[in-house]
């Protein structure tokens, strides 16, 4: 009896063992192993997203995870990092530059509107340029003046985004207007007989609207991308306003797309407008050299010299500040100095550059201020 049951026991006992072995061997099948591996990878990546606190940003330094962070509500603007009497001196100098800029550019706008002799395309675009200069400096100077007198140089997140938007809106539009002014000078000097028929008031208005619309379209996407960046770590801006380079430096996540798109935008805008300006003035120069009278050449040169001076200062500063693929702490410090010249000194000097050698503007200014009437009464 025992001999008969032994084979039965031997044949029945391995069954659970074989089932267990099959359960272990089962995931090694190709179909199951493929899905099993993918599930494991998905679970690991999901866990990493939940537990991982830092990622490597574009600069190679750890930055906060965009999915698990609380956005800062205020930024600390380092500015010039001066204290006490130095800040008061800077406040006086910057306030003087700001008031001079507002006054000088406002005078140009008023005399162009009032004097009929200045109802020309050249002065129409010059008044647009003056409006841009006032808006460009007002976008950051008042807040900077407040910070110089405050113990805490802070700016709220929304205010910083608004400052960023308007600063670059006016800045980009300035390039379009300067390019239009160059083309206008080319038509006035090289095509004098067709100039009045081409540059009609309607065409001038359309060009001005196109310049402002181009500035808006160019910056609105950059503004949206900047606003959506996770500012979760450092809130210290190493600049005296919310500039793109300083803000990308402290932004979380991967900012390489923002940096590359902004660099390409600046490259396209600056180089295309610079190319049109250079071509216009090469043609102007070749035409001026063929003028028969020296007085005609001198008048044409004096008309274009002021515009060329402004263009040279602006393009030189912008190329130095923004047309660089990477931003380092040392370059940000140098950019501050160049930005002061471009953003504070140039807008103050531009009204004088455009009027000091322009007899029509000086004559209109005398009429507005009443100097001509006073001199005639004295005579």
Enumerate residues 6+ apart whose C-beta is below 8 A from 347: 101, 105, 133, 136, 137
User: Largest Cα–Cα distance in the chain?
Assistant: 151
Neighbours of 299 (CB within 10 A): 14
**Total structural domains in the chain?**
1
Count Cβ atoms below 10 Å from residue 364 Cβ, excluding itself.
Answer: 23
- Note whether residue 355 is domain-resident: yes
Pick from 195, 138, 183: which is nearest to 163 by CA?
138
Q: Residue 211: which CATH number?
A: 1.20.1070.10
Rounded to an integer, what distance in angstroms lies between the CA atom of residue 70 and that of residue 64?
Answer: 10
Tell me the DSSP string of 292-343.
Answer: SSHHHHHHHHHHHHHHHHHHHHHHHHHHHHH--S---HHHHHHHHHHHHIII
Question: What's the gap between Cα 112 and its chain centre?
Answer: 29
Rounded-to-integer distance, Cα 282 and Cα 144, Å: 40
Number of neighbours of residue 31 by Cβ within 10 angstroms: 7
Distance of alpha carbon 367 from alpha carbon 115, whole angstroms: 8
Residue 4 maps to a domain? no
Domain that holds residue 133: 83-372
Nearest to 260 by CA among 306, 356, 325: 325
**In angstroms, how far is the first alpha carbon of the chain from the final one?**
151
Which pTM was predicted?
Answer: 0.74
Is 52 a member of any domain?
no
Q: Give phi and psi for 154, each to the nearest 5.
A: -120, 160
- Nearest Cα to Cα of residue 146 among 242, 72, 79: 79
**Confidence (pLDDT) at 98:** 93
Residues 6 or more apart from 314 whose CB is under 8 A from it?
Answer: 174, 175, 178, 342, 346
Q: Do the Cβ atoms of 263 and 325 come closer than 8 Å?
A: yes
Which secondary-structure segment (H or E) carries 74? strand 74-77
- Tell me the C-alpha distance between 306 and 302, whole Å: 7
- 161 found inside a domain: yes
Residue 240 lies inside a defined structural domain of this protein: yes
In angstroms, rounded to a whole number, what is the distance separating the alpha carbons of residues 202 and 249? Answer: 44
pLDDT value, residue 27: 41
In a domain, 31, yes or no: no
What is the C-alpha separation between 47 and 29, in angstroms, rounded? 26
| Residue 50: inside a domain | no
Element (H, E) at 175: helix 157-190
Element holding 212 (H helix, E strand): helix 201-227
Which ranges of the chain have pLDDT less than 50?
A: 1-64, 374-379
User: Residue 11 domain-assigned?
Assistant: no
HSE at residue 105, side-chain half, CA atoms within 13 A, is 25
């Amino acid at each position: 009896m025992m001999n008969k049951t032994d084979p039965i026991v031997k044949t029945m006992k391995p069954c659970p063992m074989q089932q267990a072995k099959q359960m272990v061997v089962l995931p090694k099948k190709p179909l199951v192993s493929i899905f099993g591996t993918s599930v494991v990878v998905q679970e690991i990546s999901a866990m990493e997203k939940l537990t991982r606190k830092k990622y490597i940003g574009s600069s190679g330094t750890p930055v906060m995870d965009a999915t698990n962070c609380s956005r800062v509500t205020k930024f600390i603007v380092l500015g010039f990092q001066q204290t006490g009497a130095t800040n008061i001196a800077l406040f006086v100098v910057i306030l003087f530059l700001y008031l001079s800029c507002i006054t000088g550019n406002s005078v140009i706008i008023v005399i162009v509107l009032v004097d009929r002799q200045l109802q020309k395309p050249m002065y129409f675009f010059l008044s647009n340029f003056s409006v841009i200069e006032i808006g460009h400096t007002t976008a950051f100077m008042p807040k900077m003046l407040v910070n110089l007198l405050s113990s805490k140089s802070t700016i709220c997140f929304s205010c910083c985004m608004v400052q960023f938007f308007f600063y670059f809106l006016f800045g980009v539009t300035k390039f379009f207007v300067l390019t239009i002014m160059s083309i206008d000078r080319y038509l006035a000097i090289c095509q004098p007989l067709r100039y009045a028929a081409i540059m009609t008031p309607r065409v001038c208005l359309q060009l001005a609207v196109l310049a402002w619309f181009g500035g808006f379209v160019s910056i609105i996407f950059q503004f949206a991308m900047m606003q959506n960046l996770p500012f979760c770590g450092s809130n210290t801006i190493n600049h005296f306003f919310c500039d793109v380079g300083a803000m990308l430096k402290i932004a979380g996540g991967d900012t390489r797309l923002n940096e590359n798109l902004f660099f390409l935008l600046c490259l396209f805008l600056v180089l295309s407008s610079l190319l049109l300006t250079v071509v216009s003035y090469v043609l102007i120069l070749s035409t001026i050299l063929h003028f028969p009278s020296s007085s005609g050449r001198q008048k044409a040169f004096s008309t274009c010299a002021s515009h060329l001076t402004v263009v040279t200062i602006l393009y030189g500063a912008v190329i130095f500040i923004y047309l660089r693929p990477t931003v380092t702490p040392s370059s940000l410090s140098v950019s501050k100095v160049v930005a002061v010249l471009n953003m504070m000194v140039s807008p103050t000097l531009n009204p004088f550059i455009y009027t000091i050698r322009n007899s029509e503007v000086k004559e209109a200014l005398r009429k507005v201020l009443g100097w001509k009437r006073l001199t005639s009464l004295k005579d």
